[in-house]
Amino acid sequence: MKRLVIAAICAGLILGLCEARYVANLNLAGNENSLYCLAFSRIGATLLESRLDAWATIKKKNSTQEMKERLMDIGRALEIPIDPQTISTSSTGDITVVRTSVTKNNGRYYLTAQASKGYTLLLVSVIFAAGKDATNNIIECQKRIKKILPAQTASQYTGVLAGEVASSKREPLINRMFEVFEAQMIEVYKTSNAVSATGYTPFISSHLGYGKKQYNLQAAVHYNPTENKTYIYLGTPLLLGEY
């Protein structure tokens, strides 16, 4: 799949994300997942998966054993069984990496700890396949992680539409999703096969700032000509990685 190349402004935002203490609290009286589900339902897209990425920096270089214990603690918080024998260790120079992965029900969990000079970085990625509880599970995992780690988080939801959404209809499609969040569209980026837009919604209490602009929502529409499918991505505060 060809990737949407984000402008330099987004690179700055992602760097800012690593520094900001972003807390994704939805100010909703009902289910927190309702807006995400409604956004995909409104455009007729099938939700494929929900993903949570969390990371925390500990200002201390942990030993290999301490990192293994941290991963075990995270596993207990998420109520996933971790066999200590499945935890792998690798070292390059002064960097030591400890990681493991677990599959439970319809969820995949990836836990990593990396120690270097003076600090330890903890990374957790959780991916749930489509299902009625997928978005609820993401929100629950986020709460559990934040109880034991000073973590920053980002969530991403992926859906699909059959066939090609015409280039002229991609931005309006994102706008329809943003309307569910009462979100203002801030920036729009376009290529031949994709459109991405950042926005700001009052339903998410925290945000990222770049200059005088504020962001806490991003969506992308990408057409894959090989599969003849259009993929829809929705993330908060921004979409991380490639899509």
Q: State which amino acid sits at residue 12.
A: G
Task: Quote the pLDDT of residue 12.
Answer: 40
pLDDT at 204 over 50: yes
51 part of a folded domain: yes
Segments forming the whole domain that contains residue 27: 8-236
What tens digit of pLDDT does each residue of 87-140 get? 999 999 999 999 999 999 889 999 999 999 899 999 999 999 876 677 778 889
Cβ neighbours of 226 (radius 10 Å): 7
213 part of a folded domain: yes
In which residue are the tokens 């993330």 written? Answer: 235
**pTM exceeds 0.95 for this model:** no
1 part of a folded domain: no
2 part of a folded domain: no
Q: What CATH number corresponds to the domain at position 107? A: 3.30.2030.10
Q: What percent of the chain has pLDDT over 90?
A: 70
214 part of a folded domain: yes
What tens digit of pLDDT does each residue of 28-86 get? 434 446 788 899 999 999 999 999 999 999 999 999 999 999 999 999 999 999 999 99
Give the Cα separation of 160 and 177 in Å (integer): 14
Count the domains in the chain: 1
Residues sharing a CB contact under 8 Å with residue 75, sequence separation 6 or more, in sequence order: 81, 82, 100, 102, 109, 111
242 part of a folded domain: no
DSSP tag of 26: B
Cβ neighbours of 205 (radius 10 Å): 12
192 part of a folded domain: yes
Which parts of the chain are beta strand (E)?
46-58, 88-92, 95-104, 107-116, 119-129, 152-162, 184-190, 194-200, 208-210, 213-215, 217-224, 229-236
86 part of a folded domain: yes
Structure tokens at 51: 């993903």
Give the Cα separation of 4 and 93 in Å (integer): 34
Structure tokens at 67: 């990192």
